[in-house]
């Protein structure tokens, strides 16, 4: 198991805003009830899970599909709106248009002022807000407190019905800049981003809707005109081309009235013809090589496979699980574990309407090549095509897939929740209730079908091969800046035929239900146990939290804690490394671990029926690790290579350099949890055993259980799993403040980079400091929310970045305060200047009453989302234990926030925020950004390499 890292993933084929969070025909009514699960058998060895997922679907006269589901576990509701449009509907020369339009939907509409959408939702306590574009659809998602349902419907209906009343050239120009920054951040400036785009260029012919990235090209994004946007809206953003799912703590009759009120009078649009594009098959292997500034070669093998929900699609998913998902897979065992030629390997089926994409991706170890990986992958594919999977592999793969589908049902909203699932099935199959048929689709897959799929669909003459190799990054030239548009006057909203829409709806009554609380007890050995019961789904999560993380690393061995935790599942007295992985997969469970500065954790999630067996494995790796030397050597190699890979990531590089520069490399907080290549190489088995013995013990840990388990069952399980634990580990005291470097600016040179990753950083406060909660409120205003000062300045006003942020980090000792953004290279100096302007603005005067109200309510009203799933619940209580906070901490937080004044926040900010002491870390093209930074006269400039080392270069003192 690997240490936890900060990552910013962008799913391939999907782009989005990436924010933190009646009458009708076609009436289909199913009885409403609580979500429950039962498991039966339909012959043979396969067990077919059956899930009761009640919902109601109907269609308004204007064509809008509405799907409702009542789930009263928490006072939350997910509002999920899908438009049946994506790049599949784009015309040649208009690549990225659907995604650009998605961004336009957040800019303001007829009854809503510009840049207020996020502020409304954040102030309402939204825990998730996003919009995403995939090849076949665009969706908009809000998870809000249930008393704010009407607000979400008001906002979504106003965008659907009245976007054009406010749309103007200024809004379009701004979002063209933002989207192009998103493309730079996720494709041109991301490791292997250009290679991933090349895969689709090779799979599909130019002009095919899937040929281009979802974000499109710079030229096409820049070429979009206001008239194009208006035409696109009128054609596709209509009620008859959309479906609305509402899931959560709702009253069905009242929700129907609200849907009718807000959406019923929006006019139907023209019928949208079905996409008729034919995807030509690949009959001869296509190959390409992409050079990039990366440390390690990577190979992509890709095929066009059966469309979503068509015969062969489920077989492809099962084949991907067997080939390359997790440590139990064939490719991991062969390339990573046995032969040690790959750092990582994965297989996936991206199911799409016009032809799905099956892909195997592998990154080479140092000293190995893409060609070597390709040959090894071919061997495993050929073997599966000849002999098919074993019975154990097939059952494990199907259990894993179906169990994951059921465990995801704990989420009301978000990307994987029930609301999105109902819309997903409705979009592709016109049947929101397809879940049980989908589960049957997987459980019915046979070994011979998997073998047949691999043999017939994954041939060498049917594939695309892309090798990404270290070399010069060849970024296509961007078009010259567009000339200013002559008519850029702001639109004047038309007089509304429904004046009541001008008024933001008042929230309904707040739920009187308290936040979930935990029962607590201790075992005789001192282990603290928390229990939160929830019996809506047959799912249980367990989280073992230790108060010992990378801050406990010996000064000469940074990364030892993470190394030790990564070794836990590499062998016990009863199980070997691969046996552990196979057993967890066979149970359909999930298990993982991680290390942060102050703590380490092991977690497991399982269906209730398999909980005892899954906990047997989890407790075994915690209590009985053997730390085999051969596995230590393998994991050592993996972790040293991971340090090399981090050099490719601008944000990881910035964090590594900032950490050492801010605290000092010998300070407990002066290194990232992964550690350094040198320390990982030097750590011995004795070091690992010594750290384990010093840190792992019941008095230093808490076990958090949440989900479908009663108190007697929890006591029995905790005693069985950890009652025999005799370790003597103890928490380390919080470290003292660190010593930052004397220089003010640190530049890490990435020649030719189209963006600069900027971080402003200073030492802040301990989590236990009385100022922490006040600083957390201030942080929401500065950069913690989408509607924050930093983001509105750098993104919405100036178009410098895809997103700006700030953070007040939680730690047992004095933690960092960050502000940052990935900005266009040519505006690095201006972006830093504007960032300091906003940071200094927090010290100039008290925040406004509206800002204070929004910040406090965004925190307090979003608290129920911390307990939405068993997984999030155990993580929440594990964090409380880690920072010595009481189990009822969140129940008392709203009242503490309510009493907090602007003066309280201002005083704490003045005490703790030190702009003149902030380090500036800039990871980008030195020759371009250094002159810009020098003009700011911030102070002495020094330099670091991507791994945090000091290059042989003199300091500059402008």
- For the stretch 170-192, pLDDT in tens is 889 989 899 999 999 999 999 99
**Under 8 Å between Cβ of 268 and 63:** yes
Give percent above pLDDT 90 in the chain: 84
Inform me whether the pLDDT recorded for 518 exceeds 50. Answer: yes
**Six-digit token string for 158:** 């106003």
**Under 8 Å between Cβ of 411 and 417:** yes
pLDDT band at 44; cut points 50, 70, 90: very low
When mean pLDDT is compared across 202-206, 457-461, 513-517, the lowest value belongs to 513-517
**Six-digit token string for 513:** 């239900």
When mean pLDDT is compared across 294-298, 631-635, 727-731, the lowest value belongs to 727-731
pLDDT for the residue 95: 87
pLDDT for the residue 34: 30
DSSP string, 446-469: -HHHHHHHHHHHS-GGGEEEEEEE
- Mean pLDDT over 786-793 rounds to 96
| SS3 state at 274 | coil
pLDDT for the residue 48: 61
CA 622 to chain centre: 28
Q: Regarding beta strands 298-305 and 463-470, do their DSSP bridges make them parallel or antiparallel, or are they unpaired?
A: antiparallel
Q: For 674-717, how does the pLDDT look when each residue is reduced to its tens digit (9 = 90+)?
A: 999 999 999 999 999 999 999 999 999 999 999 999 999 999 99
pLDDT for the residue 629: 98
Q: For 224-242, how does the pLDDT look when each residue is reduced to its tens digit (9 = 90+)?
A: 899 988 999 999 999 999 9
**Under 8 Å between Cβ of 523 and 719:** yes
Q: For 593-639, how does the pLDDT look when each residue is reduced to its tens digit (9 = 90+)?
A: 999 999 999 999 999 999 999 999 999 999 999 999 999 999 999 99
Residues recorded for the chain: 958
CA 920 to chain centre: 26
Q: What φ, ψ does residue 389 adopt, rounded to 5°?
A: -80, 155
pLDDT for the residue 730: 79
Q: Regarding beta strands 519-522 and 528-533, do their DSSP bridges make them parallel or antiparallel, or are they unpaired?
A: antiparallel
Inform me whether the pLDDT recorded for 487 exceeds 70. Answer: no
Q: How far is residue 801's CA from residue 799's CA, in Å, rounded to a whole number?
A: 6
**Under 8 Å between Cβ of 354 and 277:** yes
**Under 8 Å between Cβ of 331 and 347:** yes
Cβ of 274: how many Cβ atoms within 10 Å? 7
- Mean pLDDT over 195-202 rounds to 96
Tell me how many degrees the CA angle 595-600-606 measures, rounded to the nearest 5.
100
Query: 671: which DSSP letter?
Result: S
**Under 8 Å between Cβ of 90 and 209:** yes
Q: Regarding beta strands 14-16 and 128-134, do their DSSP bridges make them parallel or antiparallel, or are they unpaired?
A: antiparallel
pLDDT band at 2; cut points 50, 70, 90: very low
**Six-digit token string for 951:** 């290059």
Q: Which helix (H) or strand (E) covers residue 898, if one does?
A: helix 889-898
pLDDT band at 9; cut points 50, 70, 90: very low
Q: For 876-916, how does the pLDDT look when each residue is reduced to its tens digit (9 = 90+)?
A: 999 999 999 999 999 999 999 999 999 999 999 999 999 99
pLDDT for the residue 255: 98
pLDDT for the residue 488: 53
Give just the sign of the alpha carbon dihedral 930, 797, 133, 480. Answer: negative
Inform me whether the pLDDT recorded for 340 exceeds 60. Answer: yes
- Mean pLDDT over 918-923 rounds to 98
DSSP string, 354-388: T-EEEEEEEEEPTT--HHHHHHHHHHHHHHHHHH-
Q: Regarding beta strands 36-41 and 47-52, do their DSSP bridges make them parallel or antiparallel, or are they unpaired?
A: antiparallel
When mean pLDDT is compared across 98-112, 296-310, 421-435, the lowest value belongs to 98-112
- Mean pLDDT over 370-383 rounds to 98
pLDDT for the residue 92: 76
What are the distances in angstroms from CA 824 to CA 169, 365, 473, 752, 923? 22, 32, 17, 12, 12
When mean pLDDT is compared across 12-21, 192-201, 787-796, the lowest value belongs to 12-21
Mean pLDDT value across the chain: 91
pLDDT for the residue 510: 82
Q: How far is residue 432's CA from residue 69's CA, in Å, rounded to a whole number?
A: 11
Inform me whether the pLDDT recorded for 442 exceeds 50. Answer: yes
**Six-digit token string for 419:** 């609301």
* Residues in CB range of 956: below 8 A, 6 or more apart: 930, 934, 940, 941, 942
* Residues in CB range of 389: below 8 A, 6 or more apart: 322, 397, 447, 450, 451
**Under 8 Å between Cβ of 843 and 108:** no
CA 15 to chain centre: 12
- The more confidently predicted of residues 381 and 96 is 381
pLDDT for the residue 16: 52
What are the distances in angstroms from CA 928 to CA 178, 297, 752, 924, 932? 21, 28, 9, 8, 7
Inform me whether the pLDDT recorded for 957 exceeds 70. Answer: no
**Under 8 Å between Cβ of 637 and 643:** no
Q: How far is residue 127's CA from residue 862's CA, in Å, rounded to a whole number?
A: 5
- Side-by-side strand order, sheet with 919-924: 801-808, 816-824, 755-763, 919-924, 745-749, 941-944
Q: How far is residue 14's CA from residue 98's CA, in Å, rounded to a whole number?
A: 11
- The more confidently predicted of residues 477 and 265 is 265
pTM: 0.91
* Residues in CB range of 345: below 8 A, 6 or more apart: 324, 329, 331, 332, 335, 336, 360, 361, 362, 363, 373, 377
pLDDT for the residue 250: 97
pLDDT for the residue 10: 31
**Under 8 Å between Cβ of 531 and 537:** no
- The more confidently predicted of residues 107 and 601 is 601
Task: Specify the residue for token string 């709806």.
Answer: 505
Cβ of 302: how many Cβ atoms within 10 Å? 24
pLDDT for the residue 733: 87
pLDDT for the residue 727: 83
Helix axis angle, 902-912 to 849-860, nearest 10°: 90
Q: How far is residue 671's CA from residue 654's CA, in Å, rounded to a whole number?
A: 12
pLDDT band at 491; cut points 50, 70, 90: low
pLDDT for the residue 37: 34
b/e per residue 734-772 (b: at least 16 CB within 10 A) = bbeebebbebbbbbbbbebbbbbbbbbbbbbbbbebebb
Give just the sign of the alpha carbon dihedral 593, 596, 601, 603. Answer: negative
pLDDT band at 952; cut points 50, 70, 90: low
Task: Specify the residue for token string 């990564």.
Answer: 566
- Mean pLDDT over 324-337 rounds to 96
Q: How far is residue 552's CA from residue 258's CA, in Å, rounded to a whole number?
A: 55
Q: How far is residue 363's CA from residue 201's CA, in Å, rounded to a whole number?
A: 21
Inform me whether the pLDDT recorded for 784 exceeds 70. Answer: yes
**Six-digit token string for 439:** 């589960």
Give percent above pLDDT 70 in the chain: 93
**Under 8 Å between Cβ of 504 and 154:** yes
| SS3 state at 303 | strand
pLDDT band at 949; cut points 50, 70, 90: confident
Gyration radius of the chain over CA positions: 27
């Amino acid at each position: 198991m690997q240490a936890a890292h900060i990552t910013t993933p962008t799913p391939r084929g999907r782009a989005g805003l990436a924010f933190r969070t009646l009458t009708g025909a076609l009436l289909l009514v199913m009885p409403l009830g609580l979500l429950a699960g039962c498991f039966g058998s339909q012959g043979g060895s396969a067990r077919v899970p059956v899930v009761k997922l009640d919902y109601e679907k109907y269609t308004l006269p204007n064509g809008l599909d509405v799907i409702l589901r009542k789930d009263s576990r928490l006072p939350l509701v997910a509002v999920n709106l899908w438009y049946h449009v994506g790049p599949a509907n784009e015309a040649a020369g208009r690549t990225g248009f659907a995604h650009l339009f998605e961004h336009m939907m957040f800019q303001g509409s007829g009854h809503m002022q510009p840049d207020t959408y996020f502020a409304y939702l954040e102030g309402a306590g939204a825990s998730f807000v996003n919009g995403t574009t995939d090849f076949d659809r665009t969706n908009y998602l809000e998870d809000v407190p249930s008393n704010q349902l009407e607000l979400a419907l008001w906002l979504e209906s106003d965008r659907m019905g009245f976007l054009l009343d406010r749309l103007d050239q200024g809004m379009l120009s701004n979002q063209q800049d933002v989207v192009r920054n998103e493309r730079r951040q996720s494709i041109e400036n991301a490791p292997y981003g250009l290679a991933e785009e090349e895969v689709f260029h090779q799979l599909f012919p130019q002009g095919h809707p899937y040929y281009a990235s979802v974000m499109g090209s710079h030229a096409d994004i820049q070429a979009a005109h206001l008239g194009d946007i208006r035409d696109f809206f009128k054609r596709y953003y209509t009620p008859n081309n959309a479906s609305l799912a509402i899931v959560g703590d709702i009253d069905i009759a009242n929700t129907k009235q609200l849907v009718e009120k807000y959406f019923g009078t929006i006019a139907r649009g023209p019928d949208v013809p079905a996409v008729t594009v034919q995807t030509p098959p690949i009959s001869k292997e296509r190959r390409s090589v992409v050079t990039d500034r990366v440390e390690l070669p990577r190979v992509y093998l890709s095929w066009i496979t059966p469309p979503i929900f068509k015969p062969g699609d489920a077989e492809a998913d099962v084949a991907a699980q067997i080939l390359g998902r997790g440590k139990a897979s064939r490719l991991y065992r062969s390339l990573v574990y046995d032969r040690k030629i790959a750092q990582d390997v994965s297989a996936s089926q991206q199911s799409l309407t016009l032809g799905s994409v099956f892909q195997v991706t592998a990154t080479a170890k140092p000293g190995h090549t893409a060609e070597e990986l390709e040959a090894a992958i071919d061997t495993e594919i050929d073997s599966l095509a000849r002999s098919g999977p074993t019975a154990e592999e097939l059952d494990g793969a199907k259990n894993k897939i179906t169990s994951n589908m059921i465990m995801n049902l704990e989420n009301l909203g978000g990307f994987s929740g029930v609301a999105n699932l109902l819309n997903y099935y409705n979009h592709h199959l016109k049947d929101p209730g397809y879940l049980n048929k989908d589960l049957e689709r997987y459980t019915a897959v046979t070994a011979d079908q998997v073998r047949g799929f691999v043999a017939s669909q994954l041939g060498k003459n049917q594939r695309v091969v892309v090798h990404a190799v270290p070399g010069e990054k060849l970024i296509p030239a961007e078009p010259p800046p567009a000339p200013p548009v002559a008519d850029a006057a702001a639109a004047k909203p038309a007089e509304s035929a429904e004046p009541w829409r001008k008024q933001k709806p008042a929230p309904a009554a707040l739920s009187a239900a308290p936040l979930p609380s935990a029962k607590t007890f201790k075992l005789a050995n001192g282990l603290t146990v928390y229990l939160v019961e929830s019996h809506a789904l047959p799912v249980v999560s367990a989280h073992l939290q230790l108060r010992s993380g990378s801050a406990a690393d010996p000064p000469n061995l940074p990364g030892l804690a993470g190394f030790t935790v990564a070794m836990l599942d590499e062998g016990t007295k009863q199980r070997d490394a691969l046996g552990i992985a196979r057993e967890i997969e066979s149970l359909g469970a999930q298990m993982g671990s991680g290390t942060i500065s102050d703590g380490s954790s092991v977690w497991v999630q399982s269906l209730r029926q398999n909980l005892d067996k899954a906990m047997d494995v989890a407790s075994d790796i915690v209590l009985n690790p053997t730390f085999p030397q051969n596995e230590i050597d393998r994991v050592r190699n993996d972790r040293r290579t991971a340090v090399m890979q981090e050099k490719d990531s601008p944000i990881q590089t910035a964090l590594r350099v900032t950490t050492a520069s801010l605290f000092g490399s010998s300070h407990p907080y002066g290194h990232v949890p992964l550690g350094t290549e040198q320390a990982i190489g030097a750590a011995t088995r004795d070091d690992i055993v010594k750290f384990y013995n010093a840190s792992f013990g019941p008095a230093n840990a808490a076990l958090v259980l949440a989900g479908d388990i009663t108190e007697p069952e929890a006591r029995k399980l905790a005693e069985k799993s950890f009652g025999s634990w005799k370790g003597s580990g103890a928490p380390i005291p919080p470290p003292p403040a660190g010593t930052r470097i004397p220089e003010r600016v640190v530049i890490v040179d990435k020649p030719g980079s189209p963006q600069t990753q900027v971080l402003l950083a200073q030492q802040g406060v301990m989590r236990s400091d009385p100022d922490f909660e006040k600083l957390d409120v201030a942080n929401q205003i500065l950069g913690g929310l989408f509607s924050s000062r930093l983001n509105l300045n750098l993104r919405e006003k100036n178009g410098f970045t895809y997103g700006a942020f700030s953070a007040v980090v939680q730690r047992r000792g004095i933690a960092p305060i960050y502000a940052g953004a990935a900005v266009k290279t040519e505006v690095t100096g201006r972006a830093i200047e504007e960032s300091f302007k906003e940071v200094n603005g927090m010290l100039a005067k008290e925040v406004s009453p509206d800002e204070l109200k929004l910040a406090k309510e965004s925190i307090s009203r979003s608290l129920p989302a911390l307990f939405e799933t068993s997984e999030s619940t155990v993580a929440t209580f594990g964090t409380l234990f880690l920072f010595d906070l009481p189990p009822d901490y969140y129940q008392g937080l709203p009242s503490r926030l309510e009493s907090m004044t602007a003066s309280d926040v201002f005083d704490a900010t003045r005490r703790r925020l030190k702009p003149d002491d902030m380090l500036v870390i800039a990871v980008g093209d030195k020759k371009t950004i250094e002159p810009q930074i020098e003009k700011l006269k911030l102070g002495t400039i020094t330099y670091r390499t991507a791994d945090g080392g000091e290059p042989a270069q003199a300091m500059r003192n402008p």
